[in-house]
Each structure stands twice: as C-alpha cells, then as structure tokens.
Amino acid sequence: MRSAAFDYVRAGSVAEALVALADDRETRVLAGGQSLVPMMALRLARPEVLVDITRCPELQSCSLEESVLRIGAAVPDAVLERDPDIRAAHPLLVRTLSLIAHEEIRARGTLCGSLAHADPAAELPALLLATDGEVEVDGPGGPRRVPAAEFFDGPFTAALDDGEMVVAARLPVPGPAVGWAVDEIARRPGDFALAGAVCTVELDSSGRCSGVGVALFGVSSTPVRSRGAEEVLMGQQVDEAVLDAAAAASLDGVDVLGDEVHAPAAYRRDAGRALVRRTLAAAVRSAGGGTA
Amino acid sequence: MTGQPVPVTLRVNGRREVGRVEPRVTLAEFLREELGLTGTHVGCEQGVCGACTVVVDGAAVRSCLMFAVQAEGCDVETVEGLGRDGLHPLQQAFWDAQAVQCGFCTPGFLMTALVALRERTDWDRTALRERLGGNLCRCTGYEPIVDAVLAAAEAARNPGGEAAR
C-alpha cells in the first residue's frame, strides 16, 4: 500500500533538521528508512512530515577517539562493514552487522536508525547495551548523551523527547584482551531473531573473569542485560560448571515475552539460555580461556 | 495541503530524468509509473521479497523502501539497463541454466547478482546462496538461479573459457 501523504524535508544540516522536527505536526526522522518505510507502507506509522537527515555532512562520518567508536547517524551499515579501520577496531560490531537482514537492507539501513527504532529483536541495541555504549542526541533542549541502559524505554520506544534526534552512537571498543561473541536463532539467515545474545568477557592473568557484559535481544520487550549471568561469571575461574550456572541464571529478573505467533515463551527461555551459554563459551575462548 | 509534489532529478540507466512526485511515491513506483520502466517488479511492498531490487549509486537496494525524492542526484540502474544489445551475460546465464520460470522475481535477482559479481567473482555456492538470500523465488527452488550466477561468475573469471561461450 502507498504510505499516507506526508511532506518531505531534506535537511542540509543538523540545525536545519531540528528546525523541521520542531513542526507542530507529527514528524519523523528518515535515515535509511529500512524499518520506517515498511511501517508507513503498512500504515502502522503515519508521519505528516519526514525529515531526511542523510544529506547532513556532520552525520556522515565515523571516528575512533580514546577507544570509543563514534558513528554518525547517516552512516549506512554496509559502509561500516566495509571500512577497514572499523573492521580492525571493532570486529564484534562487524560480526553483529552481518546478522542484520540482507545486504540490500544494510546498504541503506543505519546503526543509529536501528537504535532509535528500538526493535526489541534488533541486534545493534543489544550490542550497545552489552558494551555500555551511549547515544548522542540533539534537540530543543540542546545536545545530551544517553547511556544505553537508559535509552530503550519499551518496544519500539527510545528515550527521545519531542523534537529530538539521534546524531551519533558511541560504541566502546573492546580491548585486545576482551573476548566477545554474538549469535542468534532465526528461521533463516536474515530473518528477525527469535532470540539472540551478545557478550564480552575479560579474563585477568590468572584466568578469572574480571569483566563481563551480556545482553539478550528478541527475548523481552526491550534489549536486556543479563545481570544473572554476569553475576555468576564475575570473579570466577570459568569452567563448564560456571558456564552452566551462568546460563541457568541468565533470565533471572528478565521479563520474557509471552507466547506469540513466532515462538512460545518456553521456547524463548530455552533459546535465550542456550545462546547465553554458547556466546559466553565462545567469548571466554576468544579471551584466551582454555576450559570452554 | 500535505504531500504536494516536489521536484526530483536523477539518472536512470545513464539518462537524466526530471520529474515532480508526491513525496510518498516510492522509487519503484516512480520507475514504473512515471518512467514506464516496468521491468522493476513490485511484490510485497515492504522490503521482504526483493523483486523490486535496483542499483542505486552502486549498491543493490529495495526500490519499495526508498521514496523517489530520496534518490535526488543518485545514479539508478534497473533491469532495462542490462543487455541493451542482446542479453547481458548474466541474463544469458539465467537463460542457459533455466533459472527463470514465471519471471516475476527475475529482475530483482539479476540486479542483486549484478552487484554481487561486481564485488567479486570468486563466490562459493554457500556464500552466494546467502548473498542472494534477500530475494524470494516461488517457482524454481533457487538451485538453477544459483547455478546461473555461479556460471556467470566463472565466465567473468575466464572470459575465453568454456563457461563464457
């Protein structure tokens, strides 16, 4: 179906975009449009004004500053995937991007757009959450930074006020000693994940876990940190029993989605725990831990 | 009133095109209805099936998930741009491998495969299947399509070889 009628503003700068977003009518930011345009075609979204931010020069670049990769809101996923500097600096990001839909979608879809869209089954919000990233926002109240833990308010709901937009994402780059893994279960490669997990693990010189971040996606109404799994792992010499215990505790305090058309709740629980077990084992291996 | 037509200028298959479109008109719709380029097929209209795949500034994209106004200043390639003097080698490979049945998905597959072969010609079957995985075909069972693209890749690697004939 055709989208409902809207006015289109091609912003030439963030300042212009913010003026356009201050319109009294319902406005939406348009970057890659790979989530928003289908929602408009299905009339699930009916913005009256679309503000295209892809031509804003200040949103088109990425930079690596003090172990933080800053990604502008107009940078498509496919550009990130191919950038040799990003491939070298943040292989976990590159691996995560490869799980998103298909090449034709990643050619236009953006990382910041995925964060703002806040689909609970999306990979990138979980990556931001697991690695304690931040979102740079600008709006009528001026620029601000929002930690990942405060950004995902609910399904398809990000902590953005009226007239605000995402200008960049700040992804801490895991150091060379940090192990990582990301995995998901989907019916076919490229489909939305029924469940997924992303994690980072750091081991000290004695092989004990000195840092860990685990986030699940597709399991709850937002991406969620698995504090249960993290608490089990932290400070421990990681062996099979510890990994089993971490997986068993991984959904503690997580409000798992109920039965729905794609999967029953029991399946999601099993899948979530299995993915935490699998990704933690892989992350420990890549951190140099021998046991898993 | 909301949604009044706006000007758009772009290149399509090397030709400069100027139009006025409602912002809600997708690139697929613009190509088909305004320019009469009906080789780009519209299936699901929500980015899932890949039938509407075209090449924009070198990248294969869904023309149903892009408004025509977003293509301002862009270079667009559609299936009509392939093989204007007889079949393009990729089209010939589809013919030879019987990779076409009803033909609805074919233009999308061709444009996806075109970009895949520009990126590299050393595809193995598994990687190529995944690369073509964003395009749906309800007739062929995919195998002849993968065969066709692999044959075209082989021909591109060895221009004088058996597969190029």
Where does a domain end: A131, A156, A172?
A172
For residue A46, what is the domain's CATH number?
3.30.43.10
- Look up residue A182 and give its two tokens: 């990301």
Indicate where chain B has its CATH 3.10.20.30 domain(s).
6-79
Q: Which domain holds residue A18?
A: 7-52
CA-nearest of A53, A79, A46 to A167 is A53
**Model pLDDT, residue B165:** 47
Tens digit of each residue's pLDDT (9 = 90 or more) over B76-98: 999 999 988 899 999 999 999 99
Residue B133 to residue A190, Cβ atoms within 8 A: yes
| pLDDT beyond 50 at A156 | yes
How far apart are the C-alpha atoms of B16 and B7, rounded to whole Å? Answer: 13
Between chain A and chain B, how many beta carbons pairs sit less than 8 Å apart? 90
Residues present in chain A in total: 292
pLDDT per position as a tens digit, A20-42: 999 999 999 999 999 999 999 99
Residues of chain B under the 70 pLDDT cut: 161-165
Q: Do A33 and A113 belong to one domain?
A: no
Q: Which of B147, B84, B143, B90 is nearest to B117 (CA)?
A: B90
Predicted pLDDT at A292: 41
Rounded Cα–Cα distance for residues B26 and B65 (Å): 7
Contact A132, A200 (CB under 8 A): no
CATH code of the domain in which A205 resides: 3.30.390.50
Residue A104 has pLDDT above 60, yes or no: yes
- For residue A203, being part of any structural domain is answered with yes
CATH assignment of the domain containing A132: 3.30.465.10
What the block records as the tokens of B82 is 């392939």
What count of other Cβ atoms lies within 10 Å of the Cβ of residue A159?
15
Residues A68 and A31 in one domain: no
Domain assignment present for A135 = yes
- Is the per-residue pLDDT at A278 higher than 70? yes
In-domain check, residue A291: no
* Superfamily per CATH, domain B6-79: Beta-grasp domain (3.10.20.30)
SS3 A202: strand
Domain count, chain A: 3
Residue-averaged pLDDT of chain A: 96
- By the 8 A CB rule, do A172 and A253 touch? no
Tell whether A292 is covered by a domain: no
Specify the CATH superfamily of domain B89-159.
[2Fe-2S]-binding domain (1.10.150.120)
**pLDDT per position as a tens digit, A38-64:** 999 999 999 999 999 999 999 999 999
Domain match, A108 and A87 both: yes
Nearest by CB to A103, which of B25, B64, B134? B134
CA distance A227 to chain B (A): 34
Contact of A102 with chain B, judged by CB distance below 8 Å, is answered with yes
One domain for residues A69 and A153: yes
